[in-house]
Every structure is written in structure tokens, then in C-alpha cells.
Amino acid sequence: MLLLQKLTKALLWLTLGTLLLVVSFYVLLLAINWQDEAPSANAHLLQSTFQMNAPVADNINGYSYFLRHNTQALLPVSDKLRALFAACDRKDCYVELSAASPDVYTLIEEHQALLGFYQHLLQFRYWQEPPLRHHSQIPSYQSLASAHRLYLLHIWLQLQADDATAARQLLQQDLQFWRLVIRHNNHLLGISISRAALQRHFFFSQMLLAQLEPEQQVALAPSAWHEPFSVDELSLRNAIAGEWFLRSSLVKEAMASPFNHWGDNWYEQLRMRFVMPLLLPQATANDYATQLLACLGESQLPELRWYHWLYNPVGKVLNHSSSLDCYRYNLQQLEQHRLDTIAPLARH
């Protein structure tokens, strides 16, 4: 009995000691995280990059036009056309198109609304994406990708009708448009969409050239194929700045949200009450700016020692658990795709 009392007392002291240690450590963290950082030079750089472009009126902004028409109700795609798209994403696209030649014309006629939407979109000379403050604001690009694929099929039909001049003009407009878009993308999803569209343009063009005689290849080639991608077109700076702004907005929104925003679960609300004081918005923004610019080779990531994690620990976990895959968004290969496309022309 005496032994049991001693064990109980020891356990009680151990529990109280552990609790006191945890409370003391939390108070120490609060003291360390009492003050946020001032904006860093990297944060200022991304902020100025983000604010550099003047607003563009909706009536001349291609992105605004895209949003107004970006619904399945306005731009439906039949299952038969989707199947043809899927076939053209493979190496045997030309074989599939040749086999489906009688149906391609019919499919294009059935999807004139989709084709007309894309042809009108190509007329815009401005593309400005508004600042993203939440992921829910990111639209679906499925209709745009389908419209682009349909447009390329339309080009193939022009070649089938021996109208290389029309096909060349259509290719010129398509490439000019996507080079405009990728230069003004303000978030990384937009970069992915633009890069995929440019790759699709070059791969489809290479397929077309492979079926033509040398003199026909020269007649098909638009002048835009011969224009190297510029530094601005291959830069991720605008998209990186937009991504930084989005993350900063999400953190500020989380800081400003009432605790019942995190649900009715009392445990979750209590946990957030303890966690949020350890999230410093500007320090998080500074850290993320350094990470993003390191992807561009414009900054170096500092070496984090264990004691660095005591300051803004939640922000550091947030940034480092969702670090950017720098190579995933690399655009340098687009220039190689362009060179591969015009390589057959250099032999003539």
C-alpha cells in the first residue's frame, strides 16, 4: 500500500513537472515570437513585381473573355471528340486523324461554338490574370484545352484541303497567342497550362511537317516559329510573384479568421488558439520569398539550424512542407521544342 502511494505521488509529480515544462516551453516560444519581422528585400522584390502591371479593362482582356465563356453549358464537348483528342495525345495522331477523316469535318461543324470561342480569344492582345487570394478562385482550364485541340484539328483540315496559306496563318495566330499568355501568367497553374499548350502546338506541328514534302514544309512554317523565345517569355518571375501573393493572402486570412472558422470541434479551436500565435505572417512571407527566388537562382536558401525553428515555427513548417518543385515549372525546354520543330526546314 505504501509503495502504491509513493508511485502515485511520483506519477503526480512527473505529470505536473511535464506540464510545467510544456507550459514553460510554450511561454518561451511566445516570447521569441512576440514580434514579427519587417518585410525583407526579397519580399519587396516580389511585391513590386506583382504590382508592376497596370490593370487592363475587361473588354480588352483575353482572360476576362475566357472566364465569361468558361462553362460546360456554353462550350460542351462530345464524347466522340474527346476520344479523338485522346488519340491525338499519342504518337499515332496522324493515323487516327486519317482514319477518322470523314468524321473530323463533322465534329468541327458540331462544335462551332467551341471553335468560335477560341478563334475570338486569339484576337486579344492583352492577358491579365487578377490577383488570386484563394485557391477557389482558380478556374478550370479544361474548356480552353479542348478548344485548343479543336483548333489544331481545324488546321489539319486546312492542310487536307491543300490550303497551306490558311494553315500557316492559323499556326501563326496560335503561337503568338500562347507566347503572349505565358509572358503574363500570374500563377503557376497558368504557367502549366500555357506550357502544355505550347508543347501541344509544337508536337502537332511536327506531326504535320512529317507528312509534307520539303517545299510544302517551307510553305507551312509561320514566321513565329523562327523567333526564339525571349527571356521574359521563359521567366517565371510573374508567376512566382503571384504565387507569393496568394500564400501571403492565405496566411493573413487565416490570422484574421475567428476561431469558430476552424469548425465546431472545441479541440480544434483550442489547438488553433495555441498554434496561431506561433505563425508570423511577414516572417512567413519573407521566408517564402527567399524559397521562390531560389528557384530562379536569384537567392540562396539559408542553412536552418535547430534553433532557427523556434522563431515562426508554424510558418516555417508551412513553407517547407509545401516547397516548390523548381524543375516542374521549368520553361527552358520550350526553346528546344521550337528548334526541333524548325529543324527539318534547315535542311532545305
User: Is 123 inside a domain boundary?
Assistant: yes
Q: How far is CA 68 from CA 62, 110, 240, 339, in A?
A: 10, 21, 26, 36
pLDDT digit string (tens) for 20-76? Answer: 888 888 888 889 999 999 999 999 999 999 888 778 899 999 999 999 988 766 788
pLDDT digit string (tens) for 297-335? Answer: 888 888 888 888 899 999 999 888 876 777 677 899 999
User: Is 177 inside a domain boundary?
Assistant: yes
C-alpha 105: how far from its chain's center? 34
Contact call for residues 76 and 143 (beta carbons, < 8 A): no
Question: What mean pLDDT value characterizes the chain?
Answer: 88
Number of compact structural domains in the chain: 1
Question: What distance in Å separates the CA atoms of residue 64 and residue 144, rounded to the nearest whole number?
Answer: 13
Contact call for residues 36 and 281 (beta carbons, < 8 A): yes
pLDDT digit string (tens) for 119-158? Answer: 999 999 999 988 877 766 788 899 999 999 999 999 999 9
Can you give the pLDDT at residue 263?
59
User: Is 248 inside a domain boundary?
Assistant: yes
Under DSSP, the state recorded for 319 is: H
Instruction: Give one DSSP letter per residue of 123-167, joined into a string.
Output: T-----PPPPSSGGGPPP-HHHHHHHHHHHHHHHHHHHTT-HHHH
The range of the structural domain enclosing residue 156 comes to: 36-348
User: Is 218 inside a domain boundary?
Assistant: yes
User: Is 237 inside a domain boundary?
Assistant: yes
Under DSSP, the state recorded for 61 is: -
User: Is 11 inside a domain boundary?
Assistant: no
The b-or-e profile of 238-259 (16+ CB within 10 A means b, else e) is bbbbbbbbbbbbbbeebeeeee
User: Is 7 inside a domain boundary?
Assistant: no
User: Is 54 inside a domain boundary?
Assistant: yes
